[in-house]
Homo-oligomer: A and B are copies of this chain.
Amino acid sequence: MSAGSRTTILGLIGDTSVIDEEMLESLEFVESVKRIQEPYKNANRKFHPKDTVIDVGGVKIGGGNFAVIAGPCSVESKEQLCTVAEAVKASGAGLMRGGAFKPRTSPYAFQGLRGDGIELLLEAKKETGLPIVTEIMDISHLPLFENVDVIQVGARNMQNFELLKQLGKTDKPVLLKRGLANTLQELLMSAEYIMAGGNEKVILCERGIRTFETATRNTLDLSAVPLLKSMTHLPIIVDPSHATGIARLVKPMAVAATAAGADGLIIEVHNDPPHAACDGAQSLTPEAFDELMKSVGKIRNCLEEG
């Protein structure tokens, strides 16, 4: 306790992660409450200094293992999926992405093939061998994700706490995207929701935040990568496609994210971007993706030598 002439500072000692700051702040004689200890435990690097490595069907993410997830924004057909999957696999992608359930601002926009889309992803997985990553939008769809390799929680659902709790009860790796208006601490608190349920396989994803700048869809916050690495032991990947919304910015931002120390990337690739069912403006062709992978590979080599 330190007593000044106008203010007295009280220090609370011990495990304070269960203390509700707001309740303290509402006491009449308390002017403000400053938290010293982080409110997350399972995700906290202080208590788990070693990097978490997540194994998805043999593909490792984290702890020095770099993984690239690539594929179309939304699943359209088996042919489309297999064409893209073979191409991205040849360029070095380790996992395939594809949206079956699509969160769209408008109820009149294409909502995804939903259950059928997941079927197509599983067929493509059989043919190409690439593990699949796809987004869940509601708990009730969980049974459809039984054979999915990584369940993605989109930015708009980062604080869908009921969904996070249910995913905490599964043993599937969860790709948790940062919300458009969420701080890094809130991202870790959402990871904590999943981990508190017993599922420690959380992959964090920086995908841009919403700011006043309208030249890009969102503002990619790459400082999140080294900062999260100091806060948590969980792997951190970057999504330059949704962050920028502009195909020609995807490669430079993928390369920058790699240089910043990301554990992987998630990239939208479409065999025919102008005819993509969604997000064509930010999708790469397989050729552009191949170039991106070559540049990323060089940066990775360069970092490893250093």
Complex contact B256–A107 (CB within 8 A): no
Task: Give the size category of A's interface with B.
Answer: 35 or more
Binds B, one of A89-97, A115-123, A247-255: A247-255
A2 contact from B11, B34, B181, Cβ within 8 A: B11
Binds B, one of A49-57, A59-67, A257-265: A257-265
Contacts of A150 on B, CB cut-off 8 Å? Answer: none
What are the interface flags for A173-193 relative to B under an 8 Å C-beta threshold, 1 for contact and 0 otherwise?
000000111011110010011
Give, as a whole number of angstroms, the nearest-CB distance from A65 to chain B: 18
A244 contact from B1, B20, B223, Cβ within 8 A: B223
Q: Could you tell me the distance between the alpha carbons of A28 and B18 in the complex, rounded to whole angstroms?
A: 28
A305 contact from B14, B156, B220, B298, Cβ within 8 A: B298
Complex contact B226–A274 (CB within 8 A): no
| Any B CB within 8 A of the CB of A276 | yes
A227 contact from B215, B247, B305, Cβ within 8 A: B215
Contacts of A22 on B, CB cut-off 8 Å? Answer: 278-281
Give, as a whole number of angstroms, the nearest-CB distance from A91 to chain B: 15
Complex contact A7–B37 (CB within 8 A): yes
Contacts of A211 on B, CB cut-off 8 Å? Answer: 209, 211-212, 219, 221
| Complex: chain B residue closest to A26, CB-CB | B280
| Any B CB within 8 A of the CB of A48 | no
- A positions within 8 Å CB-CB of B: 1-7, 9-14, 17-18, 20, 22-23, 25-28, 31-32, 34, 36-37, 39-40, 101, 103-111, 137-141, 156-157, 159-163, 165, 179-181, 183-186, 189, 192-193, 196, 209-216, 219-223, 225-227, 230, 243-244, 246-249, 252-253, 255-261, 273-276, 278-281, 283, 294-295, 298-299, 301-302, 305-306
